[in-house]
Amino acid sequence: MRPPKPPSRPARVSLWRYAKLFRADILSAQPARLYRAWMAEFRTPFFRSYLLNQPELVKLVLKDRPRDFPKSDRIGAGLRPLLGESVFLTNGATWERQRRIIDPAFEGGRLRDTWAPMWAAGQAMLKRLEARSGAPLEIEAETSHAAADVIFRTLFSIPIEDETAQAVFTEFRAYQRSQPILNLAAFLPRLGFLPRFFRRDTKAAARRIRALITGLCEARQAEIEAGTAPDDLATKIMTTRDPETGETFTPAEMVDQVAIFFLAGHETSASALAWALYLLATHPDWQARLAEEAQALTGDFADVSRLKVSRDVFRETLRLYPPVPMMVREASCPERFRDREIAKGAQLVLSPWHLHRHERLWEAPDDFDPARWGTENGKACAREAYIPFSAGARVCTGAGFAMVEGPLLLSLIARDFEITPVAGRLPEPVAHLTVRARDGIHLRLTPRDTPARPQF
């Protein structure tokens, strides 16, 4: 069964029609030609933008000259009320300083330290799923719960059942459904009132989330000063000094960073895990292979190297359903791409969604085939046309974290449950903060007839 993808709009539509489509879902607002084009230009009376699919251009923008193509302020129009001046939105010297402080917390050696809380979150997830086994589940709700639990355990050493953690999680679920990753109103400077009008409820939710995060950060700072803080990611980041200035994050800066850690670590992981479970449900041969591999799970960090099938399935899921479907950069000076003049200030859109399904790059681009990563085409595309975590200097600092968490949780579920789709409930991908299903992903999980395993 071929995985679902959103319909494409007609080649030509009015600006008003495009605005309506864009507001409903940025993926189905795009024409089908983007799956074949190396570059596409979009002109309106208000802005001009270019979508780049040619690998050489993607490499130029993300890897070769990232300082010449900073993140566009357009992306911050909708997200700044929640994320403030977080590392996701900043540029230049501010961004470089933030990465110097954050990156050490996610280095390879620190991943081992996050394994135990990930495993604990996985066991809690299995108990929740067992209590609801056999009945149809809206699986995105379950994966959101599990991913949020992982973030709170690894970041603040508290489970999702903690009162503050539960409050943040509840507020965030409302926020993510109402705020798109790209807001078309932000591209229309002559209609500056539109973003404010459309995001009134969203801004209020952002304020509530930030107030809760502020409480967590203040409590942790007190523990650090008292010498009683646990050695988790929050403590590591709050005590790391910029090697160039000797400064640590201010309390306000830490709130910004925790907000993006929760967004990037919870929202994106939940999206990817939900789609991975759906793909396993509709491809029982791959589910059987993954379940067999998962029998060898021991609860030790060495499991990471054993989950090869699970890793390939998760990579393929990130190809078909990249959690962040589009990224926007801005030309800081005039450029010339493919014989077209690019003016200073032009918006450059990099779309993992279209790049990962590009018909001139990938073999059978719309098919689910985890074995492709072992083929010559798959290996080449992995280097040139696969950017689920972005690439270059601004590659997601938590990419390694995600590639441990995703395969682990996926393997635990496939080991203990048979996953089947619910008849008549075909999910339709749409882009909110991440790529989700319009009406959810509905699956049925039935316990496998396997021996009991230690919980560790």
Strands (E), 360-416: none
Q: Is the Cβ–Cβ distance between 15 and 44 less than 8 Å?
A: yes
CATH architecture type of domain 15-447: Orthogonal Bundle (1.10)
| Closest C-alpha to 180, from 195, 169, 193 | 195
Percentage of the residues of the chain whose pLDDT score is greater than 70: 90
Task: Write down the pLDDT at residue 110.
Answer: 81
Confidence grade of residue 456 (pLDDT, cut at 50, 70, 90): very low
Q: Which helix (H) or strand (E) holds 452?
A: none
- pLDDT-wise least confident of 78-87, 248-257, 367-376: 78-87
| Closest C-alpha to 328, from 86, 26, 19, 11 | 26
Task: Write down the pLDDT at residue 107.
Answer: 80
Question: What is the DSSP code (8-state) at residue 180?
Answer: -
Q: What is the mean pLDDT of residues 30-58?
A: 90
Confidence grade of residue 30 (pLDDT, cut at 50, 70, 90): confident
One-letter amino acid of 34: L
Question: What is the DSSP code (8-state) at residue 346?
Answer: -
Length of the chain: 456
Cβ-count burial 261-285 (b if 16+ within 10 Å, e if not) = bbbbbbbbbbbbbbbbbbbbbbbee
- pLDDT-wise least confident of 104-108, 366-370, 372-376, 405-409: 104-108
* Beta-ladder partners of 420: 444
Question: What is the DSSP code (8-state) at residue 443?
Answer: E
- Residue 63 token pair: 């890897």
* Beta-ladder partners of 430: 436
- Cβ neighbours around 364 below 10 Å, total: 11
Q: How far apart are the C-alpha atoms of 345 and 407, rounded to whole Å? A: 40
- pLDDT of residue 7 exceeding 90: no
Task: Write down the pLDDT at residue 188.
Answer: 52
Q: What is the mean pLDDT of residues 89-103?
A: 94
- pLDDT of residue 109 exceeding 90: no
Residue 180: C-alpha distances to residues 53, 134, 186, 198 (Å): 22, 33, 11, 11
Q: How far apart are the C-alpha atoms of 254 and 23, rounded to whole Å? A: 31
- pLDDT of residue 220 exceeding 90: yes
Q: HSE (CB half, 13 Å, CA atoms) of 117? A: 23
Percentage of the residues of the chain whose pLDDT score is greater than 90: 70
| Mean pLDDT taken over the chain | 89
More confident residue, 205 or 282: 282
**Residue 24: exposed, middle, or buried by beta-carbon count in 10 A (0-12, 13-18, 19+)?**
middle
Residue spans of the domains in the chain: they are 15-447
- pLDDT of residue 183 exceeding 60: no
- Cβ neighbours around 332 below 10 Å, total: 14
Q: Is the Cβ–Cβ distance between 55 and 35 less than 8 Å?
A: no
- pLDDT-wise least confident of 175-179, 220-224, 396-400: 175-179
Q: How far apart are the C-alpha atoms of 416 and 434, rounded to whole Å? A: 28
pTM of the model: 0.92
